[in-house]
Structure 1
Amino acid sequence: MSETRKVTIKAFRFNAETDYLPYTKQYEMEVGKDDLILDLMNRIKWEHDGSFSYRRSCRHGICGACAIKVNGKAVLACKQNAIELLDLFDNDITLEPSSKKRAIKDMIIDKSDFWEKHAAIKPYVVADVEPHPTHETKQSISEFNNFLDSDLCIQCGACHYSCPALEVNPDFFGPAAFAAAYRFTVDTRDTAGAERLELTAQPSQGVWDCVKCYECAEACPKEINPIEKIGKLHNMQFEQGIAESNVATRHAEGFLRGMKKYGYLDEADIVTYSEGLLGAAKHIGTAMKMMKSGKIHWHSGVPFIDSIPKIKNLDEVQKLIEISQTNKL
């Protein structure tokens, strides 16, 4: 079996100073079993076109500079094996910037929105420290483990530019900022946790606009799982009395209401509970489709009509909820 494979690598090309529209160029090369995506980019620049531009630095997967996308899949170029992606995409791959609409030159993008949102949540320990302390500030192992690896974020932006919520809502902080907000809010040395929770509770920019698609978890090269930290921020807002009653928080409450009452998810009740009967009226088209498919019935969500069958051993589910629930909604 050959150790190399001759393939055609496509690359997104664009120079904001000279080009009206982006275009794609093709480069033929031999790709070995140990080649990384960064090796392919280096080869394009060194052997084919010296104007090809991208960011790189450490080559050890810790600086985050070389984050790009390959056929829409977020990768760190210095960690991703090229043959694996060639196999995944049937030898047809295109190197793309993390965000095409923010492209400056080829793989280089303007990350100012990422850094502004990251800075907004105060990604550092806020504390009054004596100018000449007499002892260090200690943390227990359990306190450190409570970070849940969120301190391993390298700010590559892979999750940020894979987030569909942020793509349609420029005010949204994004998963990387939320992971940082969680990391410093749970830090026992920090005193600005309530302020961060207030920021992440705001409509449009906060965690309640997350659509739970898990794209951030798929994109993260350090396996930090930002969606887990977003869920933790949800709970902390309730626990500390910061969450306000609105459509988003009542939607979260609606899930628990159904499980307590029936052991099932009550889709119709979630809508009427979170938005009210008048608000639910705008979803009538979707409701009709759900009725046709048998997902809900005409009386679903109507007050005073108990239309959902209860599961067996519902009392056991209710006991589990009572034991595990850490706060009152």
Structure 2
Amino acid sequence: MEHTITTQKVKFKVFRFNAEEDYLPYYDDYEMEVTSEEVVLDILNRIKWDHDGSFSYRRSCRHGICGACAIKVNGRSTLACKESMNDMVELFGNELVLEPLSKKRSVKDMIIDKSDFWEKHAAVQPYVVTDVDEAPEMENLVSPEDAEALDEADLCIQCGACHYACPAVEVNDDFFGPAAFAAAYRFEADVRDESETRLMDVNQMGQGVWDCVKCFECREVCPKEIDPIGKITKLHQKLFQEGKAESNVATRHAVGFIHSIAKRGVLDEGGLVLYSEGPAIVKHMPVAFKMFTKGKIPMPWQLPKSDNMDEIKTLVKSSTTAKF
């Protein structure tokens, strides 16, 4: 079958900023004929080569390996060398906005200062912590089953797409972020690792896994399909399994959710808030009162109960690790 190359006209709004010269960022507009074989990186190249040689961005391998060319297209983190222009147009239409992963960290156009990313990545000890014989007689073998437990977390290319797509990172400077947590899981799952501090570091409120808001954006934008939110969930489970999860709003929310399902087979949202917040529930009382008067909060005796409670309790008992 003959391969046909198609073209279409696309308008681009391109973020521009030079930290050494500009007080505020601005946008340049371009209109181009884009072919069905081009990726986003081709557009960045054409802007630089054909329109403005001062336009700056990072690129290297062009094969989705180095992670250097990650930017945002219409607010969505993407790896420029991997994303087809056809897919971008199909998703967003014929008007695209090209921006750096983090506008507030821009140094020159698409180039950002990723120091916060690397600092948080380093903070989780992204390496095997163990005593190593300087002259071992043989390599330290890892079985296929143990290697499988890493769950492809070692495929991360540190592009930062998930990190700068994360809303928790945007509002909380202390939060480690999904890429760091994926790295933490990768080494926590390594049978050779003996770190005594990594798991406790990701257990801390403010910086740790309990501040993840479960938006799943990191899963959506990861170019290597590593599923950072899945690794965060596994760290949650490991903390519960090892009895290291401390009582806080996030952990009580997990436990309260299970209690609610185990009790009635359905979620008691009002009871879940009460269980999670504890005495701090008083701060929600004005909103709760308004919801109650509008019939949005059912009384406990009004909640339905599942007809399959035996099956539900069996599932909860066999699957949950969330407990104190």
TM-score when normalising by structure 1: 0.93
Matching of residues 226-237 of structure 1 within 5 Å:
226-237=228-239
Equivalent of residue 240 in structure 1, options 225, 239, 242 = 242
Matched residue count: 321
Against the structure 1 CA distance between its residues 50 and 240, is the aligned structure 2 distance closer, same or farther, given a 3 Å change threshold? Answer: same
CA distance in 2, matches of 1:327, 1:291: 30
Post-superposition shift, 1:2? 7.3
Aligned partner of 1:319 in structure 2 is 314
1:196 to 186, 195, 198: 198
Aligned match for 1:89, one of 83, 92, 104:
92
Note the 1:128-139 alignment, pairs <5 A.
Answer: 128-139=131-142
Question: Could you say which residue in structure 1 is the equivalent of 2:22?
Answer: 19
* 1:49 partnered with 2:44: no
Tell me, in whole angstroms, the C-alpha distance in 2 between the residues paired with 1:269 and 1:326: 20
Partners of 1:265 and 1:289 in 2: how far apart? 21
**2: distance between equivalents of 1:181 and 1:57?**
26
1:144 is aligned to: 147
Alignment of 1:159-308 (within 5 A): 159-192=162-195, 194-276=196-278, 278-292=279-293, 294-297=295-298, 299-300=299-300, 308=303
- CA RMSD across the alignment: 1.6
Correspondence 1:117-128 to 2 at 5 A: 117-128=120-131
Which residues of structure 1 form unaligned runs of 5+?
Answer: 301-305
Distance 2:285 2:266 in 1: 22
Aligned to 2:104: 101
* AA of the residue aligned to 1:70: V
Q: Give, in angstroms, the shift of residue 7 of structure 1.
A: 2.7
Does 2:73 align with 1:78? no
Deviation string, structure 1 residues 103-161 (Cα, Å, up to 9, x no partner)? 11100000000000000000011111111100111111111111111110000000000
Deviates more, 1:242-251 or 1:110-119: 242-251
Query: What CA distance in whole angstroms lies between the structure 2 residues aligned with 1:319 and 1:90?
Result: 48
- Measured in 2, the distance between the counterparts of 1:2 and 1:245 equals 58
Q: Is the 8 A contact 2:5 2:37 kept in 1?
A: no
Q: Are 2:59 and 1:64 aligned?
A: no
Residues 34-74 of structure 1 deviation map (CA, whole Å, 9 limit, x = unaligned): 01111111011111100000000000000000000011011
The one-character-per-residue Cα deviations of 1:137-191 (angstroms, maximum 9, x if unpaired) are 1111111111111110000000000000111111100000000000000100110
Bigger Cα displacement from structure 2, 200-209 vs 23-32: 23-32
The C-alpha deviation readout for 1:200-245, integer Å capped at 9, x for no partner, is 1101000111110001001101111100010100111111121111
How far off its partner does 1:322 sit?
A: 1.5
- State, as a whole percentage, how many aligned pairs show the same letter: 60
Return the offset for 1:307. 5.1
Deviation of 1:312 after TM superposition, in Å, equals 0.6
Give the letter for the 1:255 counterpart. F
- In structure 2, give the amino acid aligned to 1:120: A
Partner SS, residue 93 of structure 1: strand
TM-score relative to the length of structure 2? 0.95
Report the 3-state secondary structure (helix = DSSP H, G, I; strand = E; otherwise coil) of the residue aligned with 2:275.
Answer: helix
The aligned residue for residue 156 of structure 1 is 159
The 1:146–1:293 alpha-carbon spacing in structure 2 relative to 1, beyond 3 Å, is farther
